[in-house]
Structures are given as structure tokens and as C-alpha cells.
Chain A
Amino acid sequence: MIEIRNVYKSFGSTEVLKDVSLTVPPSRTTVVIGPSGSGKSTLLRCCNCLETADRGEIRINHRTIISDGKPLPDKELNALRAETGMVFQSFNLFPHMTTVENVMRAPVVVRGMAKAEARELAMELLRKVGLGDKADVYPSTLSGGQKQRAAIARALAMKPKVMLFDEPTSALDPELVGEVLQVMKTLAEEGMTMMVVTHEMGFAREVADTVVVMADGRIVESGPPEQIFTNPTQERTRGFLRALVDGHLAGARPQPVADDPLDALPGNH
């Protein structure tokens, strides 16, 4: 469970988050959408103190990770981060380790797990994300989609109770997006608590329990996906969704916009 209460964050004189409050209930998936620069990635990164929120409070599984600019002491922070999986846009796999070493390293170093046991766990997770045959190769030989699936396995190896996804498919070739989303969908169905920052509206529609729309450092609107996508109450949300559809159509064949412009989006069934 993630509880974000009245969080503010500035970079220099730029206010990136302004009084943001949000709760991700246990075993639910919250998808955060919004234009770039809206602060959604910063909000996510504040949840495990990769960025320091200046004011307000963030609690992970009922433990305060940061309160009014003061993060937990290092030791406890490390322990809480270990239970909070993070998946990055740019994968950030460790290039000097094989895929299986990437996955098993943190359990060995942080939890003191025996190597044999950690390897077994890592292999199990790699098979789960469909990379059982890639265990002993270096990340440089993997495709983007494979890299991101390996990164998800790496995060899962710490047996996190919460998973944070920071635009996990934004750096991928379009044809590789599906395989990563599939893994995330499976996780959500297994009851993982997830907070996902993404531009994949199809995923948001299909998997999210709650969709949160951010703009200019604030939460504009939030609700179940049906409401956000078919009946948004805020002009800001409508504007963002319209721009998104226009962007998609600009790259596709020209065709008249449907009554519900979102029908034109891929992944909309």
C-alpha cells in the first residue's frame, strides 16, 4: 500500500509537485497518466526516495519513508526500498553481470541469501518472464523488451510488496511493448500492489483499478478507467486524451475521428 499525503517537490525554483495526495490500496494497480513535465515520474521516484519530497508524507505499507523532507535513516530506508520494486524506463540492468546474476545479486548482497538458493530463485523468475534461456548471456545481447522483462525479474527477486513502474515501455520499439505489458498484467492479476507511470492507454484501460491524471504538478482527476476514458469530468483530462489520440492518428492513416475519439486507440476492445 502506498499513501502519498500533501507532497510538494521543487527542483530549484520550479515546483514539480504541488500538494499531491494519492493512495494505492493493497493488491491494486494505479496508473498515472499525463503530459510530459506533469510531475508523474517525479511523484513515482519520491515513493522510494530516489527524489526527496520537500514537504508532505509518503508511507509504504504503513511505514513513513519520508516526512517533510526528512527521509528514513539510511538503514531503514534500504530495508524499505528492498520491499519496493522499481522498474525504470531505461532498464538500468547491470551490464557487467549476466542476466541471472543481475537477478540474483541483490538477494545475495542485501538479504545474505546463499548463492545457490538465489540462483534458483532467479531462474524461476526468469522463466516466469519468459527468459529462462537467456540466463547466462550479458544484457547487451538482449532486445529492449527482454531487458525490461529481466529488470522486472530483478525487482521481483527481492519479493517486493509494492512495485513502481516508471514509463517501463517508453524506450521500447512498438512491437516489443506487448511482451512487457503482458508480464505486468500477470503481476497485477496475481495481486501485486502497483503504481505505473505510462503512456500506454490500452494498458491503463485494461489493467488499472484507478487511473490518475496529472498535469502541472497536480492531480487533475482520478477514477476507474471507464470513467476517465469515456466520461472525464475535467477539461484538462479531455485535452490530454484528445492530444494523445491526435498524436496516434498523425502517425497512422488519415481517417475521420470516431464519435468517441478513444476508439481509435490501439488496445481498445
Chain B
Amino acid sequence: MTLDFAPVWGGLPELLKGTVVTIEVTAAAFLLSAVLGLLVGIIRLNPARRVLYGIASAYVAFIRGTPLLVQLFLLFFGLPQFGILLPAMLCGVIGLGIYSGSYVSEVVRGAIQSIDRGQMEAARSLGMSYREAMWEVVLPQAFRRMLPPLGNETIALIKNSALVSLLTIDDVMREGQRIISTSFRALEVYIAVALIYFVLTNAATWILRQLEKRMTVERG
């Protein structure tokens, strides 16, 4: 058996275009998951706000308890039955973002709960409102503790984004499959695709680690 990487080199422009799409989908989904995760994580700190807490908990339970692929298909193939026809790209971003957000919310909640209660008390005793105390005192400290688990989430998000190729989004996975369909060089092309994901996940890890380092140095 001989490996022939010629189709990979020939298809490199398409693969790179697909890589850009993968990065776009992941970045947009990351932003969505961060906002969603922060909101849901904070809401789930306080069971006394029953309705909000109930909705947030149901969201986390449902999203974490069902496969991402099913969720994506619900958005892409299911919603049209209600006349809701979202563009594939939007379905991908929303699906990935909602999925990742449920995990991020647990990261957020855990990090906030790990901050000593005295911090909130000190802030409130100075007259800050709950929101001010959270924003000024608790979250900046919690954020630093979120970074390592957030790194895991980001890696998972990048890898999971390969599923959006099934929604007809031309990400790196789908571009790879397209090259295979004409060259029949599955092994070589998937090796190339795997390498691209490998580079992406490690770049993301590196960026987060730099952030972590800088925050540690800043605070002596």
C-alpha cells in the first residue's frame, strides 16, 4: 500500500477554506456558549428564584442528556416543520453554542462557588449590590479558575464542530469528504483533516494558557 498525498495538496485551498469556516463556526458558538454559560451558571446559584432556576436546570439537564447530533438535526430538520427555516450556518452556531453553553454553565457555577463566601460578604458590607459585587469582586476571581476547565470545553467545541458538516456547512470536515469523493484517498485526506483539528485545538489551548499565565503574573 502506498500513501498518495497529491489529492491533499491539490485540495489544499478547499481544505483551508473549510478550516476558516470551522474557525468561524467555533468562534461564534464559543461566544454564544460563554454568554449562555455565564447567565445560566449565575442563575443556577440561587434556587430561591424558582422559575428562572427551573428553566435553567431543565436546559442543562436536557442538553447534557441528549446527543449533540440529535440537537443539531432537531434545529436543521425539525424546526422547518413549524415553518422555521434557519440557514445551516445559524443552526450550526446555535446548536453548538447551546450545547457547549450547558457545560460552560457548570464550569461557571463551580468556579463561582469555589470563591470564599467572605468575598461576597465584604463587597456587600461596603454597600455594593449583588450585581456589583458579582461583577467587581467574585467573577474576576472566578474567571481565573474557569480558565483550565474552559480550555477543555473549547477543545470539545472545536472537535464537535465537525458534526455541522452534516448540516451541509462547508467546514474542513465536509471539504475533506468532498475531496475524498473524487480522489478516493480517504486515509490521506482524513489524516490531513485530523492534523488540521489537532493544530486548531492546540492553538486554542496555547492561547488560553497564555491568558492564564498573564493573570497569574499580574496578581503577584
Q: Which A positions have Cβ atoms within 8 angstroms of B?
A: 48, 50, 74-75, 78-79, 81-86, 88, 90, 92-96, 105-106, 109-110, 137-138, 140-141, 151, 154-155, 158
Quick check: A96 and B126 within 8 Å, CB to CB? no
Q: In the complex, are the beta carbons of A86 and B137 less than 8 A apart?
A: no
Chain B hits for A48, CB < 8 A? 125
Complex Cα gap A93–B141 (Å): 12
A50 with B220, Cβ < 8 A, contacts A95-B141, A105-B136 known: no
Contacts of A105 in B (CB 8 A): 136
Pairwise interchain contact B137-A82, C-beta atoms closer than 8 A: no
Assess A92 versus B132: contact at CB under 8 Å? Given A82-B127, A138-B219.
no
* Contacts beyond the supplied A78-B128, A155-B125: 18 A-B pairs with Cβ under 8 Å: A50-B125, A78-B129, A81-B125, A82-B127, A86-B121, A88-B118, A90-B116, A92-B119, A95-B141, A96-B141, A105-B136, A106-B128, A110-B126, A110-B132, A140-B219, A151-B122, A154-B122, A158-B126
Check: B47 CB closer than 8 A to any chain A CB.
no
Q: Whose C-beta in chain B lies nearest to the C-beta of A164?
A: B125
Tally of A-B residue pairs with Cβ under 8 A? 71
Q: A96 to B219, Cβ gap below 8 A?
A: yes
CB contact under 8 A between A82 and B126, given known A105-B136, A109-B136, A137-B220: yes
Evaluate contact between B219 and A110: CB separation under 8 angstroms.
Answer: no
Identify the interface centre among B121, B122, B130: most chain A CB within 10 Å of its CB: B122
Could you tell me which B residues sit within 8 Å of A by CB distance? 116, 118-119, 121-130, 132, 136-137, 140-141, 144, 219-220
Q: Looking at the complex, which one of B118, B128, B219 makes contact with A109 (CB distance below 8 Å)?
A: B128
Q: Give complex CA distance A50, B125 in Å.
A: 8
18 contacts between A and B (CB under 8 A): A48-B125, A50-B124, A50-B125, A74-B129, A81-B124, A86-B125, A88-B121, A92-B118, A92-B121, A94-B141, A106-B123, A106-B128, A109-B128, A109-B132, A110-B127, A138-B219, A138-B220, A140-B219
Rounded to whole angstroms, the CA-CA distance of A158 and B122 in the bound complex is: 13
A50 touches B126 (CB 8 A): no
What residues of chain A lie closer than 8 Å to B219, measured between beta carbons?
95-96, 138, 140
